[in-house]
Amino acid sequence: MNFFKKLRESISTKAESVTTKFKEGLQKTTSAFTEKMDDLLRRYKKIDEAFYEELEEILISADVGVTTVMELIDDLRSEVKKQRIEDAGQLKPILSEKLVSLLKGDDTDVELRLNEDGLTVILFVGVNGVGKTTTIGKLAHRLKSQGKSVLLAAGDTFRAGAIEQLEVWGQRVGVDVIKHQAGSDPAAVIYDAVQAAKQRKIDVLLCDTAGRLQNKTNLMEELNKIYRVIGREVPGAPHEVLLVVDATTGQNALSQAKLFGEKTGVTGLVLSKLDGTAKGGIVIAIRNELNIPVKFVGLGEKMDDLEPFDSEQFVHALFAGLVTEEDMESSEV
């Protein structure tokens, strides 16, 4: 069974509602990307340097990432030479498969790691304005709908309105928020939240943290202090350190992922606001260039618009207009 047939059959087994959500959430990226790709493959009858240069521009403009694009182009050149392909139209299924392979990456460790023997502590990190607090609220809603008890910790005590924003989400979702006054020691807030979670026999504690400090204290030092407090009170915690990045910022999101990944022991990424960008290719760059799994993607403003990252669903949504039934049939072996 060829690649596309397996992909098609795998996707067909997924819930239709999830497929629709991914399609709608990636509409901006899909439209911009597939229209340019279709136009390119239509205009060029012969694969030459001009074709490769324009292909590079399209991929880079979708924020696939320069490093990833260069690897992809080199791979395509080898494939074209190996199969003696001359017509650009014949490259369509091969190009699609290469892009799909890059996006799928390694699907291990994409599940949220939960402590089966007691309290699970999940720490959220990321710069201000990426949608960290909103993501916490959405995940709290998701976990609660799965029957788990959830508690929130307002560890971002420096950003104006951060505590109140988390409280609003707590009220919407129906979970309590442990907080101190604005400007308080974040580690002290997290300590109190852990104690409250243990006393109440809570399943999951979601901890907000600062994206920027108003004083001279180094942000990474503050986060390390929080790690020590959590690790001392709950052995093996934090069970997840989720970095939230704003997909609409493109390459800046990749830079943030690199910085936090090196400094804070990030175990997973959450790409927020993916529905608001035409540059969803940043997912490909992040998965290909960093050894950090994408665990969730934000596909809208509603409470249930936080979806576990599913590479097959993502692929189906992103390339629905590019990988056609004709391509699948033409690639049959």
Binding-site annotation: residue ranges: 126-133, 208-212, 272-275
Burial state string for 43-64 with b = 16 or more CB within 10 A and e = fewer than 16: ebeebeeebbeebbebbbebbb
- DSSP conformation class of 117: T
d(CA 275, CA 297): 9
d(CA 238, CA 205): 10
Contact 332, 322 (CB under 8 A): no
Question: Cβ contacts of residue 141 below 8 Å, gap of 6+?
Answer: 172, 173, 303, 304, 306
Residue for token digits 């002290």?
188
Residue list for the binding site for GTP: 126-133, 208-212, 272-275
Q: Which of 144, 135, 172 is nearest to 301 (CA)?
A: 135
**Residue 151: what are its φ and ψ, rounded to 5°?**
-135, 145
**DSSP track, 212-253:** S-SSSS-HHHHHHHHHHHHHHHSTT--SEEEEEEEGGGTHHH
Contact 292, 286 (CB under 8 A): yes
**Burial zone of 201 (CB within 10 Å; 0-12 exposed, 13-18 middle, 19+ buried):** exposed
**DSSP track, 32-71:** HHHHHHHHHHHH-SS--HHHHHHHHHHHHHTT--HHHHHH
Question: Cβ contacts of residue 52 below 8 Å, gap of 6+?
Answer: 73, 76, 77
d(CA 110, CA 115): 15
